[in-house]
Structure 1
Amino acid sequence: MSVTIRTAAGLPDLGEQAAATVLARLQASTRPVLGVATGSSPLPLYQALARRRAELPPLRAFALDEYLGLPAGHPQSYREVVRREVTAPLGLDPAEVFVPDGGTNNPDRAAAAYEDTIRAAGGIDVQVLGIGSNGHLAFNEPGSPLDSRTRVVDLDASTRQANARFFASPEEVPYRALTQGLGTILEAKALVLMAAGESKAEAVERALCGPVTPELPASVLQLHPDVTVLLAEGANKLLPREAGANLK
């Protein structure tokens, strides 16, 4: 395991640090593949990459997850979020940007097909991640097997509550989703975790300094050989000062 922890002065700096890390990984690959996360945490990264768009190599991108059951074109479906926040600003070819099929009538088959598509692309070179206040990665809620693959999941009540701000009412938040599994995420060559705000501090500390356990899904970061953790606005407040050295 090698975890590099950096603290940013603010959200713009967080984005610039993340962009430098991601670009270095992508430019080292002959046909790079980027794993993209949704939510507020990675937005500074995508904004920084858009400013440095000329430095981006041609690449393919895979989203971590997607709600099940939202109608096609719903503005809060992750297909639409990725289109708005990643594909268009970064000038990516929409045909090379992949999101799990949340409108499928056979989600188990769609999950297996998504795994196959990632594998056919040669895997993810660098996977961008956020972290939930309950320690989830993607939609891998507490209790997720550490070797899990892309699959159907039930969303935790705290996750639905956190995401309700994006919908007209809490009742509109879906109860299920398709998500890459923890085992799938661990197969990416490099992981870049972004977190901002004191509300994420406990989850970050437990993920990096506590035991590796399914009850804290983000603790699987400790099992990966190349992790960069970028923190801002108090997300590092519970980490011991020597954490970076101890996590090498």
Structure 2
Amino acid sequence: MQLTPHILPTANAIGDLLAARIVDRMTAKGDAPFLLGCPSGRTASPVYAALTRHAAEGSDLSRLVIVMMDDYVVPDARGEFHIVDPEASYSCLGFARRDILAPIAEACAAAGTVPPTELWTADPKAPEQFDARIAAAGGIDLFLLASGDSDGHIAFNQPGTPRATKTHIVDLGEATRRDNMGTFPEFTHLDMVPRNGVTVGIDTIARLSAEVAMILCGEHKREAFARITTAESYEADWPATIVTECRNAELLVDREAAALPV
């Protein structure tokens, strides 16, 4: 299904809209956990900042479950993969702790409310169990999605990823690794970027999400904007086009990404 973009002035405007939606959806769900699928890095940061403001204003976020979509992994001496040290700035698990949960917890403490504490990541030793865990919980209530700038990767799914892919270990291509050099400035040369990751699959996103929001912000996302707005179904050479096959999908774009005057 071809998507019509919802264009907002800025990334912060998109963050405000989505955070308000998350709070509304969570309230409507009552006492049940609310699973929020999350990318690390720049794209969804305005959403996380806006959620922190809602927490500061007294919103009940205690039932929020942060479900991370991917992380870097490295092999040990036996060749078994492990998630990178959470203390590393490029750790997605570390990002979730530091940049999503910690600010919300601080805001909740000031407001006298209960903070969210649940954080889910895939185990690289048994990645297939992640899909089963999500399915057993009723699926992702809202998945925040982002597209790679130059190759259309979504989570760590590389160009050419089959539509039916579940959570898995992946070899990261050079384009994805270069994109992530922009996210983590400590990566001063390509060899510093890990070569492997664990990631939710294309099918994980489409099959296990009740609602998705693809976020495109900034001039560097114009190629992604062009590819996603013209796609009618999944195109394996640009994996982020899976958004066209997701239930209740929305494409949220700022004016820079849409090449409109700011």
TM-score normalized with structure 2 length: 0.81
Task: Name the amino acid aligned to 2:129.
Answer: A
**Identical positions, percent:** 30
> Does residue 177 of the first structure (1) align with residue 202 of the second (2)?
no
Separation (CA, whole Å) in 2 of partners of 1:89 and 1:7: 28
- Cα distance in 2 for partners of 1:142, 1:40 equals 21
What is the alpha-carbon distance in structure 2 between the residues aligned to residue 232 and residue 72 of structure 1? 31
Q: How does 1:107-146 map to 2 (within 5 A)?
A: 107=124, 109-133=125-149, 134-146=151-163
Range moving further from structure 2, 210-219 or 178-187? 210-219
Amino acid in structure 2 at the alignment position of 1:203: A
Q: Which runs of at least 4 in structure 1 moved beyond 3 Å after TM superposition?
A: 1-4
Change (3 A) 1:40 1:68: same
Please tell me whether residue 40 in structure 1 is matched to residue 60 in structure 2.
Answer: no
2:88 aligned residue (53, 74, 91): 74
Is the contact made by 1:19 and 1:48 (CA closer than 8 Å) also made in structure 2? yes
Q: What are the ranges of 5 or more consecutive residues in structure 2 without an aligned counterpart?
A: 75-83, 106-114
Whether the 8 Å contact between 2:209 and 2:247 is mirrored in structure 1 is no
SS state at 1:237 partner: coil
Instruction: Name the residue aligned to 2:81.
Output: none
Aligned positions of 1:165-244 closer than 5 A? 165=182, 166=184, 167-170=186-189, 171-186=191-206, 187-212=208-233, 213-237=235-259
Matched residue SS, 1:225: coil
1:141–1:156 CA contact under 8 A, matched in 2: yes
Counterpart secondary structure, 1:114:
helix
**CA distance 1:24–1:233, change in 2 (3 Å):** same
Contact 2:212-2:249 at 8 Å conserved across structures = yes
Count of residues in correspondence between the two structures: 231
Deviation at 1:221, TM superposition (A): 1.1
- Once the 2 structures are TM-superposed, how far is the Cα of residue 85 of structure 1 from its aligned partner? 1.2
Question: What letter is aligned with 1:114?
Answer: F
| Secondary structure at the counterpart of residue 250 of structure 2 | strand
Checking the alignment, whether the CA contact within 8 Å between 2:86 and 2:92 is kept in structure 1 is no
- The answer on whether the counterparts of 1:29 and 1:125 sit within 8 Å (CA) in structure 2 is no
With over 3 angstroms needed to count, the CA separation of the structure-2 counterparts of 1:39 and 1:77, relative to structure 1, is: same
For residue 73 of structure 1, report the CA deviation from its aligned partner.
2.6
RMSD value over aligned CA atoms? 2.0
